[in-house]
Chains A and B, each alone.
Chain A
Amino acid sequence: MGDFFYKLKKDKIPFLAFIVLLILYLLIAFADFFAIYPSTYSNRKLAYQPPSKIYILDKDNKLKKPYVYNYIKTFNQNTLSIEYKQDRENKYKIKFFSHGYEYKLFNLIKTDIHLISKPDDCNLFLLGTDIGGHDVYSRLFFGGQISLTIGFLALLISFPIGAIYGGVSGYLGGIYDKILMRISEAIMSIPGFYLLIILASILPSNMNSQQRFTLITAILALIGWAGFSRVIRGMVLSVKNQEYIKSIETIGASKKRIILKHILPQTSSYIIIAITLSVPSYILAESGLSFLGLGIQLPDASWGNMLREAQEFANILYRPWLLVPGILIFIAVLSFNVLGDKIRDILDPKTMK
């Protein structure tokens, strides 16, 4: 393990990716601490407010504590559109490590301390608001909680299924192998995303958000296991005729024991590599699904469903702050790819020199 980290540290870019991911996961672990508004906050009267500008210099160019102005909503008679204007009357100081809404850290510790809190009587939307008047900045953290964990959870379901399925198929061989492999081939023959949207669309619409999250995870897992099981089967085929397996068989070990204890552990380094390399595809799949409105649904946030706003042309032209979740998806996926490549280089004996 120490050797692993040493090798990881030696290469700067993968190590940077590792740090980035660490930061991202820390941010979502302490989402409530970093958020300014609670996840349920919504004020339709303040839809599409632009990001609050933060000032640190006053009129005489003197350094001041960061402050913001309130925004006033006005209706422009000429363009027939709603405009937000700064109200330069009052300055509001931004508070740090101060009291905000109450929340429970890790569902255990009750507190109301936040990194940044909004000034009293003034709104603070660091990245503006969306159509429902949600604070985009705060929702980035809550959305990340879903987008960055759903992939891992789906992997936790799909990998054991794939490994056992491939292991049984490869070890038993013969007719079992034929039938099992035809089934997994059939699943692989359905274009994955088609299956995904069909499964997501037949979910009943009256579920609560937790049930929906669970089922979306299960659906993502259902797509991925088939391809994985084929690779495991191939590896099992090459292992099963080795002498140590024969000798365990002569001792009289059960088939279940041989598959679980002696064959599958041989594939462990491949499994670790495959896991890190498949997390990004699950993240992308979830975001695509939510982007189409078939995944995580309002009022819950995920980076994908936050990007739904980008389907409106006016939004990407005049409200570019709504595109921020896309950049975060990009950063997360890029980091996972870079890190995954490095882990493969470290663990794969073929590339060892």
Chain B
Amino acid sequence: MSTWVYIIKRILGAIPILFIVSLISFFLIRLSPVDPLAQLKLNPAISKETIEKETKRLGLDKPVIVQYALWAKNFIKGDMGYCTDNTKVSVKIKSRILNTLLLSFCVIFFSWIIAIPLGILGAVSYNSTFDKLLTLFSSVGMAIPSFFFAVIMLLFAQKTGLFPVGGLTSINFQEMNLFSKIIDILWHITLPVFVLTTISLSSLTRQMRANLLDVLNSEYVKFAYAKGLTKTKVIIKHALRNAINPIITLLGFEFAGLLSGAALTEYVFQYPGLGKLILEAVMQSDINLVMASLMIGAIMLICGNLLADILLKITDPRVRV
């Protein structure tokens, strides 16, 4: 029961934060010298009525506060307006969210199942050659600029022909059956996932190693040894559970880092995700799209943090409601 109370409390707590986020992003964009309808007006395919409708919908003839209220009302209703190419923002964003979530999920999954065992091995064999190599590799992994790494991987794909160069689907994707569709997506997603996993893997491994080292030095672990338990038992049954808690907290941060870090990688690989969308929106000064993707990004981040907190609540009974 108390878990539910905690979850509801946290969700309610996220509302004022979202409100402030929306205020910040709205005024940031409105204060910029960009005319929100400039692109619409330039596009000959868009009729005068649409522009008038947009002016009215955004309340551009009214004071800024009213504009904000109108925007917020529409956003809650799910109406985010039109892009400069006359498609609905909500339609465009929906597919991108799924793609970004798919990418993030794969990256988090792989980095966790690789990083945690590596971190454990590093901590257990503290100061051994393996440990030193691990530290070296994780430092190297953290230092590669993601876009540079992505460019090099693209070069690799081009030279070997093993992987497709960019995109999420092949040209003949529509004609495939379900099975080959899945294979096609997996084949396209491999390189972006590899790049992002390598980067997040490095910091995660270091964190895991450091946590376990901290716990291994504590009194209760020494006591467990004194009791005569084997090393494996002490580590798996006693030390690991405490060492993994900070990693779960990191999950939220990692998600944040992924949303940001993925933007560049998505751009290089031409992966149709949220990061690439917001970049395109920014380049074309498509205000509606920028606002919407900024909000969606923030909501996803808050959800990520929430998820991490709930997980932590489940694994660590000491977390108070």
Q: A residues touching B (Cβ–Cβ < 8 Å)?
A: 182-183, 185-195, 197-199, 201-202, 204, 280, 284, 287-288, 291-292, 294, 307, 310-311, 313, 316-317, 323, 326, 329-331, 333-334, 337-338, 341
Q: Which of B24, B34, B165 has the most CB of A within 10 A?
A: B24
Stretch of B188-196, B237-245, B253-261 on the interface side: B253-261
**Which 6 pairs of residues, A with B, have the shortest CB-CB distance?**
A193-B260, A202-B32, A186-B20, A334-B143, A326-B148, A191-B259
Contact across chains for A190 and B263 when beta carbons are under 8 A apart: no
Cα–Cα distance between A69 and B21 once the two chains are bound (Å): 60
The verdict on A191 contacting B24 (CB below 8 Å), with A280-B143, A334-B143 known, is: no
Residues from chain B with a CB closer than 8 A to the CB of A333 are 142-143, 145
Residue of B nearest to A283 (CB): B145
| B321 interface hit (Cβ, 8 Å) | no
Contacts of B168 in A (CB 8 A): none
Closest Cβ–Cβ distance, residue B56 to chain A (whole Å): 25
Cα(A193)–Cα(B268), bound, Å? 15
The interface residues of chain A lying within 8 Å CB-to-CB of B159 are 317
Do A190 and B297 touch (CB < 8 A)? yes
Complex contact B139–A338 (CB within 8 A): yes
With a CB–CB cut-off of 8 A, which chain B residues contact A191? 256, 259-260, 263, 297-298, 301
27 contacts between A and B (CB under 8 A): A182-B16, A186-B17, A186-B18, A190-B297, A191-B263, A192-B260, A194-B259, A194-B260, A194-B278, A197-B263, A202-B32, A202-B34, A284-B145, A284-B146, A288-B146, A288-B264, A307-B151, A310-B151, A311-B268, A323-B151, A329-B148, A330-B144, A334-B139, A334-B142, A334-B143, A337-B142, A337-B143
Beyond A194-B278, A202-B34, A310-B151, 19 extra complex contacts between A and B, CB < 8 Å: A186-B24, A187-B24, A191-B259, A194-B260, A194-B275, A197-B282, A198-B294, A201-B282, A202-B28, A292-B279, A313-B165, A317-B159, A329-B145, A329-B148, A330-B148, A331-B143, A333-B142, A333-B143, A334-B142
Chain A residues, CB < 8 A from B205: none
Determine if A192 and B256 form an interchain contact, defined as CB atoms under 8 angstroms apart: yes
Verify A190–B279 contact, CB threshold 8 A. Answer: no
Return the chain A residue nearest B151 by Cβ.
A310
- For A186, the chain B residues whose CB sits under 8 A away are 17-18, 20-21, 24
Whether A194 and B302, one on each chain, are in contact in the complex, defined by CB atoms closer than 8 angstroms, is no
Cβ 8 A contact of B294, one of A190, A307, A341: A190
Interface size class of B (residues with CB under 8 A): 35 or more
Say yes or no: A204-B148 contact (C-beta < 8 A), given A194-B263, A198-B294, A199-B28: no
Inter-chain CA distance A346–B293, complex, in Å, is 43
Partner of B20, one of A183, A195, A198, A313: A183
Residues B145 and A288 in contact, CB atoms below 8 Å apart: yes
Say if the beta carbon of B37 comes within 8 Å of chain A: no
Does any Cβ of A come within 8 Å of B25's Cβ?
yes
Contact A307–B148 (Cβ < 8 Å): yes
Query: For the complex, what is the distance from the CA of A201 to the CA of B283, rounded to whole Å?
Result: 7
1/0 contact trace for B30-54 toward A, CB 8 Å? Answer: 0011100000000000000000000
Beta-carbon nearest neighbor of B19 in chain A: A186
Chain A: CB-nearest residue to B268: A311
> Hey, which chain A residues are within 8 Å of B139, CB to CB?
334, 337-338, 341
Taking A189-B301, A189-B302 as contacts, is the C-beta distance between A317 and B155 under 8 angstroms? yes
Chain A nearest CB from B166 CB (Å) reads 10
Chain A contact surface mostly: helix
Tell me if A198 and B28 are in contact (CB < 8 A). Answer: yes
Is B271 part of the binding interface, using a Cβ–Cβ cutoff of 8 Å? Answer: no
Assembly CA distance A341 to B138 (angstroms): 12
Nearest chain A CB to B304's CB is how many angstroms away?
10
CA distance A194 to B268 in the complex (A): 16
Please give the distance in Å from B233's CB to the nearest CB on chain A.
26
* B267 located at the interface, meaning its Cβ lies under 8 Å from any Cβ of chain A in the complex: yes
Chain B residues in 8 Å Cβ range of A202 = 28-29, 32-34
Centre residue among A194, A197, A284, A334 by max chain B CB count within 10 A: A194
List residues of chain A with CB within 8 A of the CB of B16: 182
8 Å CB contacts to A: which residues of B270-321?
Answer: 275, 278-279, 282-283, 285, 290, 293-294, 297-298, 301-302, 305
Say whether A307 contacts B147, CB under 8 Å: yes
Residues of B within 8 A of A291 (CB): 145, 147, 264
Q: How far, in whole Å, are A284 and B260 apart by their CA atoms in the complex? A: 12
Q: Is B28 touching A197 in the complex (CB atoms < 8 A)? A: no
Q: How far is the CB of A89 from chain B (nearest CB, A)?
A: 36
Cβ–Cβ < 8 Å partners of B259 in chain A = 191, 193-194
In chain B between 115 and 144, which residues have their CB closer than 8 angstroms to a CB of chain A? 139-140, 142-144
**Of B151, B261, B305, which one neighbours A193 at CB under 8 angstroms?**
B261
How many angstroms from the CA of A46 to the CA of B297 in the assembled complex? 44
Q: Which residue of B lies closest to A223 (CB)?
A: B260
In the complex, what distance in Å separates the CA atom of A294 from the CA atom of B285? 13
A343 to B142, CA, bound (A): 17
Closest chain A CB from B131 CB (angstroms) = 13
